[in-house]
Amino acid sequence: MIQPERVRRILKGLDRLWPDAHCSLDHENPLQLLVATILSAQCTDERVNRVTPELFRRFRAAADYARVPIEELMERIRSTGFFRNKSKSIQGMARLLVERHGGEVPRVMEALLELPGVARKTANVVMGTAFGEASGVVVDTHVFRVSRRLGLTRQKTPEKVERDLMKLLPKDRWIQFSHQVIQHGRNICLARSPRCEACAVLRDCDRKGVRTPGGP
């Protein structure tokens, strides 16, 4: 059983380190965020942010993505990797938005999950960042790794990790926790060589599977 005081210390430590953490995908509206999040699969946010300015200038509405020749869309997002599947997902998503939602991104989890290319992580990103609604906890590779190292969960799938985190964390922290832990994973709790000396939550870290100087 994880003690509530331990969770509070972890949250305070993350607040000290990352008080202004936010989504690192550049966007101006829910549609842009949805497209950027689909593009971010198996790709860095930095790369996505280099591709999207021109993409967003060219395609301003869901209808634009729905009717563009798929070959053109593929070429415009090629550098993000897996561009064929991503293009099909984006175009399928856009067509469903036009057909069922008047071209607008729905702010209902169930409706988001019906869109091509949208799994729970993507839906949580849109719900939390675009609409400010805590429908769940975004579990990307950083949140998955850091949460397990901190001993907040022992689960081995993102879905089960999310369920554990939703039970442990106050609901009003679900959105910010993900932003903070993503920053923590990118800058301090690195996958191969974590910078434990700079970590404000080391006291409460189980350091599972991590070899650090003077430690297991």
Instruction: From the candidates 15, 26, 64, 140, give the one annotated as an active-site residue.
Output: 140
pLDDT digits (tens, 9 = 90+) for 67-111: 999 999 999 999 999 999 999 999 999 999 999 999 999 999 999
Q: ∠ CA(96), CA(100), CA(103), 5° rounding?
A: 70
Q: Tell me the mean pLDDT in the region 17-46.
A: 97
Percent of the chain whose predicted confidence (pLDDT) is above 90: 92
Q: Which CA distances in Å does 28 have to 31, 40, 52, 56, 63? A: 8, 16, 11, 9, 17
Average pLDDT over residues 49-65: 98
- Fold for domain 4-21+137-204? Endonuclease Iii, domain 2 (1.10.1670)
The architecture of the domain spanning 30-130 is Orthogonal Bundle (1.10)
What are the residue ranges spanned by the domains of the chain? 4-21+137-204, 30-130
C-alpha to C-alpha distance for 143 and 174, rounded to whole angstroms: 12
Specify whether 160 is catalytic: no
Least Cα distance to 27 among 49, 54, 1 occurs for 49
Judge whether 112 and 123 are in contact, CB under 8 Å.
yes
Per the annotation, the verdict on 121 as an active-site residue is yes
pLDDT tens track for 146-181: 999 999 999 999 999 999 999 999 999 999 999 999
Q: What is the pLDDT of residue 210?
A: 62
In this predicted structure, what is the pLDDT of residue 215?
A: 37
Q: Which of 86, 121, 164, 204 is catalytic?
A: 121
